[in-house]
A and B are shown apart, each in its own frame.
Chain A
């Protein structure tokens, strides 16, 4: 009798967990496997699903051996990440520490910093187009009227400055998120430890490096890893700036064409090659995997050393 009761009880965990696993397999595992299968075909929307053929690794060979635009997009993505991730990690930390110490106005500044993060991306694209327009942009108007520049800069018209604008946009938009995470981390550090250190003669800089940073280390590691992964998914910011009818894919000199923009363009915009598009996404997946392995190795090694 007892064993029967036990048997019926065993079903319940499976039943309760089933919906999650059903969704997980339907919306994560199945599409992932199916996309892998697609990447081994020559599926083009124009010829239709019925005419697609299995072509083995040809898409991957083309991608890694001869697709210069893929490497260019990858290079652009790495460049953006190398610049904006350190700014966000260190800038967010500094800002959080400064705001954490403010008493009366900390809420106000926190809200101001978080506002860009919750602003609609399309609105951000329009705001930045107005700010950085060559002939009518607010920034050029200020710089020329202040006598700093004789003639306005074509911010969105040349490769280097277009990249700079994208980086400014990313930092401006995401700083609030980093700030929130750091503030949450700072609130977990016991006040007594800092106070005891101060009593023992430590100054603010020493407290910051010897107490605050070590306490925040797990959060910093989390932010670095998630930044790298989201960095490979960078799409909205450069896409919004260069999405009008007469823009080229990825802006001037294709300087802001990230891997995700290239994937989207090849699959749905300029071309209709679903098979090759799937190969690009898996190619990118391999790159993300390798980079994540390297970063986690470095972090783990440092943890073991310490």
Chain B
């Protein structure tokens, strides 16, 4: 009996140790509630709360930042340090998908948050609800949201209407197309002529069928059904959630129907977005169109089309039925920031100033603020060696942005987005699955994951 008890205790202890591994550390202390204003040493002349004035150029300080875009980070911080040589940055690379977890853990354990906090669009609605943000539209920052492009406004505020971050740069998306293929199959590589040729998705499908027949099934209109569906659903500009109701039918049914039509007409390839094969497809010349945001040019097209440089491979055009806002990252100030004055100076420089816009332009990004383009019209120009002579900057600003319907963010958008991935994977794999079945499956999955909502 005694032996059995000992064995039992040993077993429970062993499993308990496993349990210990699965659980997280924590502390009652919540540093967010601490109203601690750090003293900024060496900057004794800076007094008061007037954040509208620029800092003296010999200002000293250090800002911490967690981020995932080294190109952006280097461009803006190096430009800022030219103006403020005594300011240092401590940068911690973090995968963009891990951001919500990192912020949560820091808040839960009371460990330090970065001074400058980034928020990617995928998880932004949730991240902005965390009790960690300075409201930039309030004193002492007094940021006026109308300083940035209007379509970005709903994506910079939390549910209380506080501006929690300013977009690093514009991220409108139209369609990129392979000029050699459009010339071969549609007789032109001019964006305006192509836009006339594709006023809506139905004509896109019809032309796609012709391409499929002519090419013997070798050339596709789009790399995958998942990214096509993602583009189309964002065109609607309709909020996915209203109050306690997920508007699945109203806001997502059409995109699922079109995705099925794309698949059944053989105009899309089978590639899953963001897989190695999908990236490689940009250099293969088998897919005529792809969604193209400002960041797609330096991150997706240029690195994956090694023969495309100076070869005039690509063009940019308006998408049938309108364009979308795709991606984007904001810069905000955490409540625990040790030098909020300096943090605001940096954010203002990086996102709103003409000098910051110049630094961004050098790496192919377009600032989200309106004023720099007025002060220096040449900032509107951005060209890529992969897109021939086309002025991408002007096209994004003048053609793509005016045709964007921006969707309001909701707290659980990330879960709906993830569930849609599940559905498009199923659509891609099962050719017999209809749009109605896909919608029903979507509703079932949403009811499982978001049981607090009514799904319509």
Residues of A within 8 A of B (CB): 27-32, 34-35, 38, 45-46, 48-50, 66, 68-69, 126, 129-130, 133-137, 154, 156-158, 229, 232-233, 243-249, 252-254, 260, 263, 268-272, 274, 278, 281-282, 284-285, 288-289, 292-293, 296, 300
Contact = CB atoms under 8 A, between A and B. Distances in A.
B243 interface: no
Interface string B415-435: 100110110011011100000
Nearest to A280: B22
A244 B126 contact: no
Lowest 6 A-B CB distances belong to which pairs?
Answer: A35-B23, A248-B422, A268-B101, A28-B20, A157-B429, A136-B277
B26 A245 contact: no
Contact of B448 (A69, A135, A229, A268): A69
Interface string B260-283: 000000000111111111001000
Contacts of A282: 19
- Which residue of A28, A32, A245 has the most chain B CB atoms within 10 A of its CB atom? A245
Given A134-B272, A248-B418, 17 more contacts: A28-B17, A31-B23, A32-B19, A34-B23, A45-B104, A49-B28, A50-B30, A133-B276, A245-B122, A246-B272, A247-B425, A248-B419, A253-B426, A272-B100, A285-B22, A292-B11, A300-B7
A69 B449 contact: yes
- Which residue of B24, B28, B277 has the most chain A CB atoms within 10 A of its CB atom? B24
23 contacts: A46-B130, A49-B28, A129-B275, A130-B276, A136-B280, A158-B430, A229-B14, A232-B18, A246-B227, A247-B272, A253-B426, A254-B422, A268-B101, A269-B97, A270-B449, A272-B100, A272-B104, A274-B108, A281-B22, A281-B23, A285-B15, A293-B11, A296-B7
Contacts of A252: 422, 425-426, 429
Contacts of B130: 45-46, 272
Contacts of B101: 268-269
Contact of A48 (B32, B274, B411, B448): B32
B311 interface: no
Contacts of B21: 233
A28 B100 CA distance: 25
Interface residues of B, number: 62
A66 B451 CA distance: 10
A45 B440 CA distance: 31
Provide the main secondary structure of the chain B interface: helix
B94 to A, nearest CB: 13
Interface in B85-121: 97, 100-101, 103-105, 107-108
A282 B7 CA distance: 22
A158 B429 contact: yes
A243 B272 CA distance: 12
A211 B287 CA distance: 63
Contacts of B448: 68-69
A118 B23 CA distance: 26
A217 B16 CA distance: 26
B17 A48 contact: no
A260 B19 CA distance: 12
Contacts of B414: 270
A229 B11 CA distance: 12
Contact of A233 (B18, B23, B126, B274): B18
A135 B415 contact: no
A151 to B, nearest CB: 10
B107 A48 contact: yes
Contacts of A134: 270-272, 277
B15 A289 contact: yes
A46 B129 contact: yes
Contacts of B11: 289, 292-293, 296
Contacts of A130: 276-277
Contact of B276 (A126, A157, A247, A260): A126
A154 B107 contact: no
A160 to B, nearest CB: 11
B22 A284 contact: yes
Contacts of A300: 7
A28 B23 CA distance: 9
B97 A245 contact: yes
Given A68-B448, A248-B422, A268-B100, A34 B26 contact: yes
B41 to A, nearest CB: 31
Nearest to A34: B26
A282 B18 CA distance: 11
A268 B324 CA distance: 28
A204 B448 CA distance: 55
A133 B275 contact: yes
B22 A45 contact: no
Contact of A289 (B12, B107, B426): B12
Given A28-B17, A133-B276, A288-B15, A49 B429 contact: no
Nearest to B445: A254
Given A157-B428, A157-B429, A248-B422, A31 B26 contact: yes
Contacts of B275: 129, 133, 244
Given A69-B449, A135-B269, A229-B18, A248 B425 contact: yes
B127 to A, nearest CB: 9
Contacts of B230: 246
A274 B451 CA distance: 17
A270 B415 CA distance: 6
Contacts of A293: 8, 11
A35 B109 CA distance: 13
A257 to B, nearest CB: 10
A19 B32 CA distance: 32
A75 to B, nearest CB: 14
B215 interface: no
Contacts of A254: 422
Contacts of A292: 11, 14-15
B291 interface: no
Contacts of B129: 46
Contacts of B23: 31-32, 34-35, 278, 281
Contacts of A49: 28, 30, 107-108
A133 B451 CA distance: 34
A285 B429 contact: no
Nearest to B230: A246
A252 B17 CA distance: 33
B131 interface: yes
B1 interface: no
Contacts of B418: 248-249, 270
Contacts of A50: 30, 33
